[in-house]
């Protein structure tokens, strides 16, 4: 099952690096919407992504609208703390796009209002503002993969009697 991760104006290089590593582990494509809050040459970005950069298809866009125009028939789901539906309430289609906003502000309210039927949230206690961006991406992408019974995923190596 193909999954597309979209980061709209990410600000923290370590988060994006961690998301690159997650994308490599699950075979997801990463779409980055400019402006980025860091250089893609940033040492923190590279360190967090380790040596997985060559394992991920990464695409850059000057605007979110540019991405939408490239994939007009695809379904997009918008992660926000303001949604009524949780990420587990959705049956995700193949090749869906999971959209996440910048760390300091999330996604623009105008975008959320236009797409409120496709907004999803991760449940949290009421006094917590939000989860870390890279953790949020991992939580939701693994739900999408779980729904497809982890199609295309493999077990690494063989277990021995000593590994249990």
120 contacts 27 by C-beta, under 8 angstroms: no
Placement of tokens 């992660």 in the chain: 79
Q: What angle do CA 122, 125, 131 make, to 5 degrees?
A: 50
DSSP class per residue in 83-135: -SSBGGG--PPTTEEEEE-BTTTBS-HHHHHHTGGGEEB----TT-----HHH
Angle between helices 133-147 and 13-26 (to 10 degrees): 20
CA nearest 118: which of 93, 154, 136? 93
Contact 7, 33 (CB under 8 A): yes
Residue 5 is labelled as binding a ligand: no
101 a known binding residue? yes
Residues annotated in a binding site for S-adenosyl-L-methionine = 101, 122, 130
Residues annotated in a binding site = 101, 122, 130
């Amino acid at each position: 099952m193909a999954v597309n991760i979209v980061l709209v104006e990410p600000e923290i290089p370590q988060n994006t690096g961690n998301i690159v590593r997650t994308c490599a582990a699950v075979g997801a494509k990463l779409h980055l919407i400019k402006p980025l809050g860091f250089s893609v040459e940033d040492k923190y970005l590279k360190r967090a992504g380790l040596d997985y950069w060559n394992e991920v298809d990464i695409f850059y866009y000057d605007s979110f609208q540019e991405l939408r125009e490239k994939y007009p028939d695809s379904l997009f789901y918008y992660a926000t703390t303001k949604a009524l539906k949780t990420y587990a309430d959705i049956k995700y289609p193949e090749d869906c796009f999971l959209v996440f906003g910048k760390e300091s502000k999330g996604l623009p309210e105008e975008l959320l209002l236009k797409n409120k039927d496709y907004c999803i949230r991760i449940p949290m206690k009421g006094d917590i503002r939000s989860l870390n961006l890279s953790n949020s991406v991992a939580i939701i992408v693994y739900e999408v993969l779980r729904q497809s019974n982890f199609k295309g995923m493999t077990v690494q190596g063989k277990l021995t009697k000593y590994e249990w």
